[in-house]
Amino acid sequence: EPEVTQTPSHQVTQMGQEVILRCVPISNHLYFYWYRQILGQKVEFLVSFYNNEISEKSEIFDDQFSVERPDGSNFTLKIRSTKLEDSAMYFCASMGTRGENTQYFGPGTRLTVL
Amino acid sequence: QKEVEQNSGPLSVPEGAIASLNCTYSDRVSQSFFWYRQYSGKSPELIMSIYSNGDKEDGRFTAQLNKASQYVSLLIRDSQPSDSATYLCAVTNQGGKLIFGQGTELSVKP
């Protein structure tokens, strides 16, 4: 069964450093998302991406964040200068078509900012 | 503010019983409704989706939607210890982003 994959599973970084989180969505999917979940809190939407551009972003997704689909398979989230409060699980999700309406989640990357 | 509300629990039921999980949402234009299961430290896993009023059954799971009351529920029949997890209610509109509730922790006791 096709699945969303994410690397790395755990990333530890120093405050102020840049990190790139990588995702490989399900191969024929067209819509891509990033969510985050701070420990003990709800899953929060960050950004959606379709047709090589951002379709929607949340207030959390400020200038420190960017997304890219550099080739036909990878979908990345970059945090330019990490803060302590960026420590969270980051989930990538993908969806086939808007009509299908079901998002499938990757296993997540646990980001720890020291 | 568009919100999805769930009781955080924990909800404790004995093995073999029916577990009932509830969710309310504030945005009347919400179109699609989902229940995800999340084990500790893992990603959300889709259990059920429901789009129209009424009941939808899939195995031991039944989702119920009442758009007039802005209410979604999930029933788990014959609960098993392996069902112990946090259950996330999520809604979306045409925009596609999922808005999650804080989740209800379910504990099924053997």
Q: B95: which chain A residues are within 8 Å (Cβ-Cβ)?
A: 48, 55-56
Q: How many other CB atoms sit within 10 Å of the CB of residue B35?
A: 23
A38: helix, coil or strand?
coil
Spatial separation of the C-alpha atoms in residues A105 and B43, rounded to whole Å: 7
Residue B55 makes CB contacts below 8 A (sequence gap 6+) with: B62, B63, B64
Name every chain B residue with its beta carbon within 8 A of the beta carbon of A31. Answer: 96
β-pairing verdict for A10-13 and A65-68 = unpaired
How does pLDDT run across B82-103, given as a tens digit for each residue? 999 999 999 997 668 999 999 9
pLDDT of residue B30: 83
The fraction of chain B above a pLDDT of 70, given in percent, is 96
> Three-state SS for A85?
helix
- Residue B66 has a pLDDT of 96
Output the six-digit token pair for A82: 């990490």
Q: Show residues of chain B in contact with A108, CB under 8 Å.
A: 42-43
CA distance A29 to A109: 20
| Three-state DSSP state, A95 | strand
Residues A33 and A75: beta-carbon distance below 8 Å: no
> Can you give the pLDDT at residue B95?
63
Residue B78 pLDDT exceeds 70: yes
B13/chain A closest Cα distance in angstroms: 22
Question: Which residues, in sequence order, are bridge partners of residue A45?
Answer: A35
Specify whether the backbone of B82 is left (phi greater than 0), alpha (psi in -120 to 50) or beta: alpha
- The string of DSSP codes covering A62-108 is -TTEEEE--SSS-EEEEESS--GGG-EEEEEEEES-TTT---EE---
Give the pLDDT of residue B2.
65
Neighbours of B77 (CB within 10 A): 13
> Of the candidates A42, A56, A105, which has its C-beta nearest B95's C-beta?
A56
Phi, psi values for residue B105, rounded to 5°: -80, 125
Chain A nearest-CA residue for B92: A101
Q: How many residues does chain A have?
A: 114
Q: CB contact, 8 Å: B45 with chain A? A: yes
Over chain A (114 residues), the average pLDDT of each successive run of 10 is 92 97 93 96 95 93 94 92 97 84 93 98
Measure the CA–CA gap between B103 and B99, rounded to whole angstroms.
12
Does residue B92 belong to the interface with chain A, where contact is any CB pair within 8 Å?
A: yes
Encode pLDDT of B37-61 as tens digits: 999 999 999 999 999 999 999 999 9
Distance from CA of B32 to the nearest CA of A (A): 8
